């Protein structure tokens, strides 16, 4: 992950990265992306890019373990989030699923994670304190709610599943208001050139469609050139 590639990935959206991975593979069918609709705390922000720091939480019911066990695991969680390669993002599975009710991501927790140097959070759970979250730390979540309920950490550093996508701790993730995608390690070196090729190819159709002289004939010419360029 070079500084130039990181800067590029933060500037492009997640659909572009999905398409660029298909350029690298030379075919359609890559499926390591989220399903369904996500909510973003800051839809206009740059994309979140980083190596996943994973955990699982729950909040609908009080924890059954002893308080000291819960407190120790919470500190283990924060040690995990504060360590590891950077850039990084928190990827948190809420085990309450569609019944998720406890907001783990509010003003205090997002500020802590930003202070640890994380780039943002991706969670199937709940966020709150919209308008008070720190700048430069987007949260991609499943829902918005007012309470933290009985939120507590269940697991740290294990594979998680968010929006139908399973992500292992340490995997490279790109996320924005569209959802998230895992970038396979072997593709990283080719990603910048793939994005450039993709953008150049798409501009064939986009430039034609935005021209005041655009019509069916112009479309036909542009589409043929587009198909030649992308094959």
pLDDT for 230: 78
Per-residue HEC secondary structure of 69-89 comes to HHHHHHHHHHHHHHCCCCCEE
pLDDT score of 103:
98
φ, ψ for residue 26, nearest 5 deg: 75, 20
Any idea where the domains of the chain sit in the sequence?
A: 1-31+186-231, 32-183
Helix (H) or strand (E) holding 29: none
Please give the Cα distance from 120 to 137 (Å, whole number). 5
pLDDT at 1: 82
Distance CA 106, CA 96 (A): 18
Please, which pLDDT band fits residue 185 given cuts at 50, 70 and 90?
very high
pLDDT in tens, 39-51: 999 999 999 999 9
User: Helix 188-209 vs helix 14-25: angle between axes, to the nearest 10 degrees?
Assistant: 110
Beta bridge partners of 40: 140
32-183 adopts what CATH topology?
A: Glucose Oxidase; domain 1 (3.50.30)
- The burial of 58, by beta-carbon neighbours within 10 Å (0-12 exposed, 13-18 middle, 19 or more buried), is given as buried
């Amino acid at each position: 992950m070079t500084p130039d590639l990181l800067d590029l990935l933060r500037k492009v959206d997640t659909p572009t990265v999905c398409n660029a991975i298909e350029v690298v593979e030379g075919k359609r069918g890559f499926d390591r992306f989220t399903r369904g609709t996500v909510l973003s705390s800051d839809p206009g922000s740059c994309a979140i890019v980083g190596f996943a720091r994973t955990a699982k939480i729950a909040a609908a019911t009080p924890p059954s373990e002893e308080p000291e066990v819960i407190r120790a695991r919470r500190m283990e969680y924060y040690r995990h989030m504060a360590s590891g390669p950077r850039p990084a993002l928190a990827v948190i599975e809420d085990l309450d699923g569609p019944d998720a009710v406890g907001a783990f991501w509010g003003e205090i927790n997002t500020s802590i994670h930003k202070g640890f140097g994380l780039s943002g959070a991706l969670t199937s759970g709940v966020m709150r304190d919209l308008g008070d979250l720190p700048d430069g730390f987007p949260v991609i979540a499943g829902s918005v709610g007012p309470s933290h309920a009985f939120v507590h950490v269940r697991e740290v550093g294990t594979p998680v599943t968010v929006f139908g996508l399973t992500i292992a701790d340490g995997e490279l993730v790109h996320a924005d208001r569209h959802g998230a995608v895992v970038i396979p390690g072997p593709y990283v070196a080719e990603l910048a050139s793939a994005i450039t090729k993709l953008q150049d190819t798409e501009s064939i159709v986009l430039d034609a469609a935005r021209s005041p002289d655009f019509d069916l004939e112009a479309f036909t010419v542009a589409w043929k050139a587009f198909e030649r360029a992308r094959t």
